[in-house]
Amino acid sequence: MHFDALTVACVAAELQQTIEGARVQQILAVDEQSLGMELYAQRQRYYLLLTADPKASRVHLVHSKLRRGVTKDSPLLLLLRKYVRGGQLTTIDQPDPTERLLFFHFSHPEHGKTRLVAECITQRANLILINQEDRILDCLRRSWESTGVQRPLMPKQPYQLPPQPEKFAPYPHLAIQVPTVSPTQFELLLQAGGPLRRLLVSNFAGISPTLAAEVAWRATGSIDGGAEEADATVVAQILYGLWNATATGQWQPGIWLAEDAVAGFAPYEVHGRGEFVATASISVALERYYDAARTVAAQPDQETTATGLDSPHDSYHALRQTVRGLLDQADRRLQRQLAALDADEPAPGEAEQLRLQAEWLLALHNQIEPEQPILEVDLGERTLRIPLIEGKKPVEQAEQMFDRAAKLERAAQIIPERRTKLERDLDYVEQLRLDLEQAENQPEIAAIQQELGTMGLLSTTGQSTISKVIRPGSSVGSGQPLRYYSTEGFQIVVGRNARQNEKVTFDIAKGEDLWLHARGAPGAHVVIRSGGQQVSAETIRMAAQLAAYHSKLTGELAATVIVTP
């Protein structure tokens, strides 16, 4: 999907109407490649996302508050908080209508004017803060002056616009930085043949594959239409109409669906690629598309390449991803430890066999000839063969075998206990995974990190992450269990995470109460506070539904729930 120059123009127009003149109330790092701003304008708050992710660089408004998702503030973020936070966003503009650039101009009562440049240029995507003298204060991605670097991006260096490709402007009024194409040149290009969309992308600035496919459909009736089928005047009129809509405010943003899943976005009605669904703004279209893409990325087993419209925006996505990574590390660590136990565990009877060999070797050591390779002992029903170690006295070898047998006996006792503990820890990690998906705020997510640390399943880096995310004096907790009442008046208590489960099972539940849990899956511990009274099937069914819903089996057609007095 392409956040192209025409999309940037529509985003700029939308932001000019909504947040131009806004006060900057907060700036934070959503992740290592993205910034979020909270702005106040027209008596309401707006949340602006700016990301320089090379695979998804973009700028747009989001409907919910953005959250901090990194553990360490970057130099750029610190400078933005100094020069921009508390200031005013005075103007927003796209300096070149054929390029994916947005300029955000700020005025601060103490530090004066600055400009934040969002360069949404795929692999060269960047966020750059510039002072009044057009010198770089800092940027997200620095580049040093060297062979192959077209422009250095370093603090104190003068800011230069990205180099322009050697292409034509789509129509004359857009010829700011690039040359225009004459009608004769355009005719010659079309006569060369080939797919029209490929010709447009190769020869005209600001035209993405998405836009080129739409122009081809409007000019030839097919997104794969040939250049020789198109009329130069018609193509020029189509390009003018698409770009002019941004100037008149008559563009139509939206998304298109393929097999009921979000497949793309555009600031114009799309044809030939699925069902087009109009949205209230280009920001809504962008948010829906990227929320859908993120949902699919988190579900690698899905066969589709997009998802439905109802995917919620996760304000804690970056922090949740960090904790998900720590859970993955803990899982791998436990799996490695289990594999090591399997390798170290003695075979059944191995210690007894070794001890028997040692006893016979010690008993018959006087009968062993020098350099004898094997001692054979007739046990009646079988012959015991004891390989002899060259250069080792039989008594010494027997002592070593006794020591080895003792270690194997200890291992045979300890390893099953250790395996049981590791398997419990793995089950607990799975429970924490479910807790993470159901966590509703930062303290609940941070509590999962802290729980991993308590279990001793975090590396030094992971422990450092906890200390940075959990600020001194902040409240980190798992919240309180949910409480419901059945039609009979029995209280039903539901633990929504590991700590709450422990509280429900060991602190709240009494001996006469009923305990429920989804069989074979991590999930809530549910208790019916019956106090030994008879409980109806309706109440048990209600509690069982809660246990299934608050488990990994939610969404399945059926779930088995254990009910224990």
Using CA atoms, how far residue 78 sits from 140, 378, 454, 455, 481, in Å, is 12, 82, 32, 35, 39
Cα 534-538-544 angle, rounded to 5 deg? 100
Q: Which residue has the higher pLDDT, 426 or 296?
A: 426
- CB–CB of 2/50 below 8 Å? no
Q: Tell me, what's the pLDDT at 1?
A: 66
Q: Average pLDDT, whole number, for the chain?
A: 86
Same domain for 508 and 453: no
Tokens (6 digits) for 432: 């924490």
Q: 381 lies in a domain?
A: yes
Same domain for 346 and 448: yes
Tokens (6 digits) for 339: 């594999």
Q: Which helix (H) or strand (E) holds 166?
A: none
- DSSP 3-state assignment of 35? strand
Q: Up-side HSE of residue 244: CA atoms within 13 Å toward CB?
A: 9
- CB–CB of 176/96 below 8 Å? yes
Tell me: pLDDT of 376 over 90.
no
Quickly count: other Cβ atoms within 10 Å of residue 109's Cβ. Answer: 8
- DSSP 3-state assignment of 73? coil
Q: Tell me, what's the pLDDT at 428?
A: 86
Q: 160 lies in a domain?
A: no
Q: 476 lies in a domain?
A: no
Tell me: pLDDT of 113 over 90.
yes
Same domain for 337 and 234: no
Q: 477 lies in a domain?
A: no
List pLDDT tens digits, range 117-169: 999 998 889 999 999 999 999 999 998 876 566 788 999 999 999 988 888 88
- Domain stop point among 442, 469, 496: 469
Same domain for 103 and 35: yes
Q: What is the mean pLDDT of residues 514-525?
A: 90
Same domain for 188 and 253: yes
Q: What is the mean pLDDT of residues 505-523?
A: 90
Same domain for 330 and 415: yes
Residues near 513 by beta carbon (within 8 Å), at least 6 away in sequence: 527, 528, 529, 530, 531
- Domain stop point among 89, 114, 139: 139
Tokens (6 digits) for 33: 């490649």
Residues near 65 by beta carbon (within 8 Å), at least 6 away in sequence: 38, 45, 47, 315
Q: 489 lies in a domain?
A: yes
Tell me: pLDDT of 306 over 80.
no
Same domain for 278 and 232: yes
Same domain for 445 and 321: yes
Tell me: pLDDT of 295 over 70.
no
Could you tell me the maximum CA-CA distance found in the chain, to the nearest angstrom? 109
List pLDDT tens digits, range 16-43: 999 999 999 999 999 889 999 999 998 8
Same domain for 398 and 258: no
Q: Tell me, what's the pLDDT at 122?
A: 80
Q: Tell me, what's the pLDDT at 448?
A: 86
- Domain stop point among 403, 435, 469: 469
Tell me: pLDDT of 511 over 90.
no
List pLDDT tens digits, range 438-447: 887 778 888 8
Q: Which residue has the higher pLDDT, 14 or 350?
A: 14
Q: Tell me, what's the pLDDT at 76?
A: 96
Question: In the beta sheet, which residues pair with residue 523?
Answer: 551
User: Helices (H) and strands (E) in the chain — how many of each?
Assistant: 14, 19
Same domain for 274 and 181: yes
List pLDDT tens digits, range 450-484: 888 887 877 655 555 544 444 444 444 567 888 88
Number of separate domains in the chain = 4
Same domain for 460 and 327: yes
Tell me: pLDDT of 414 over 50.
yes
Q: 163 lies in a domain?
A: no
Residues near 37 by beta carbon (within 8 Å), at least 6 away in sequence: 24, 26, 27, 47, 48, 50
Q: 303 lies in a domain?
A: no
pTM, entire model: 0.62
Question: Which domain range does residue 253 map to?
Answer: 172-297
Q: What is the CATH number of the domain that holds 11?
A: 2.30.310.10
Q: Tell me, what's the pLDDT at 260?
A: 80
- What string of DSSP letters covers 233-276? HHHHHHHHHHHHHHHHT----EEEEETTEEEEEESS---SSSEE
User: Rounded distance, CA 375 to CA 368, Å?
Assistant: 7
Same domain for 101 and 68: yes
Q: 327 lies in a domain?
A: yes
From 48-57, 276-285, 439-448, the region with the lowest mean pLDDT: 439-448
Q: Tell me, what's the pLDDT at 307?
A: 37
Q: Tell me, what's the pLDDT at 460?
A: 56
Q: Tell me, what's the pLDDT at 296?
A: 53
Any idea what DSSP says for residue 140?
A: S
Exposed / middle / buried, residue 278 (Cβ in 10 Å: 0-12, 13-18, 19+) = exposed
Tell me: pLDDT of 246 over 60.
yes
Any idea what DSSP says for residue 41?
A: E
Tell me: pLDDT of 185 over 70.
yes
